[in-house]
Every structure is written in structure tokens, then in C-alpha cells.
Amino acid sequence: MITLVIGGTRSGKSEVAEGIAAGLGEPVTVIVPADAIDAEQAARIAAHRDRRPAAWLTVECGPELADALAVAEGTALVDSLGTWLSVSADLDVGVDELVGVLQRRAGPTVVVTEEVGLAVHPTTDLGRRFVDALGTLNAAVARVADDVRLVVAGRSVRLEP
């Protein structure tokens, strides 16, 4: 089972995803597709980790998301696709490879991602390329997801296929 949880910055999407993952059974592996590159990012990762049950394993995998997801046991929680895209060279991620791994996983997977289509239009070329790439990535994962939830202000609604 694949659940995609999508929302804007500080929408509460990670907490909603954690609640979903908690109901899917142990063990839970949280996959963070980034390495803490500065104190602020390390603090964010730590705050998320501290909020989750102590038994949950956190794996910081950098751009190697598909590889980390392929070996995760039990329930996997990926937080987040936007982070993964941002740490990948030239915003070039293996969308098809990720989708394949998601479809082959035996355990349930909850994927968190940022909704950028409702945000302010970026003024730079890099910003526009990021929005386009993340929109394409989100749509690809949504196509194979069994459940897609949009989170706004900590509340979620199920999106129809």
C-alpha cells in the first residue's frame, strides 16, 4: 500500500504522515533523503526524530532514496520528496526507479511531499525548474498511490483518483 501525503510548508504533512505510519504496524523506518548540511537542517531533522516513537529507525540517505527504500523493512515513511529533489544534482532524480521501488515493496509506504503548485511563482530559473520537477515527481507518485491526502493547517482530505 502506498500513501502520498502532500501539503505546503508547515502544513502539518509530516505529522499526518507519522499518524498514518503509526497505524500500519512495526517496524517503521523513516527515510530522510537528505544529509544535514547545516545546523538549521540538523535541528529540523532532530525535531522530527524526537517527535516520533523511539522504536522508529531514522535513515538519512541523501540522494540514494530508491536504494534506502528498497531495503527498508516493514512500514517505510519517506520525508520528503522535495528534500530529495533539492539534494539531487541538477534536480535530476530517478522518478521511474522510485516508482518501481514503491510498487515492488512488500510493506506499506507513506511518502511525504511538498505541494508547490499553490505557492508563489518562483522568479528564478532554478526555482521554476524545481517547481516543474517536483510537480512531475508528485504526479508520478500519485498515479501509483493507493491513497493521496492533501494537508492544510494540520487537517487532511483524501483526494479522489
The pTM for the full model equals: 0.94
Structural domains counted in the chain: 1
pLDDT over 80 (residue 160)? yes
Q: What is the pLDDT of residues 91-121, one digit of tens each?
A: 999 999 999 999 999 999 999 999 998 888 8
Q: What is the pLDDT of residues 1-39, one digit of tens each?
A: 999 999 998 899 999 999 999 999 999 999 999 877 788
pLDDT > 90: what percent of the chain? 79
What phi and psi values does residue 63 have, to the nearest 5 degrees? -75, -5
Range of the domain at 32: 2-159
24, 44, 48, 122: the active-site residue: 48
- Clarify whether 121 is annotated catalytic: no
Supply the CATH number for residue 134's domain: 3.40.50.300
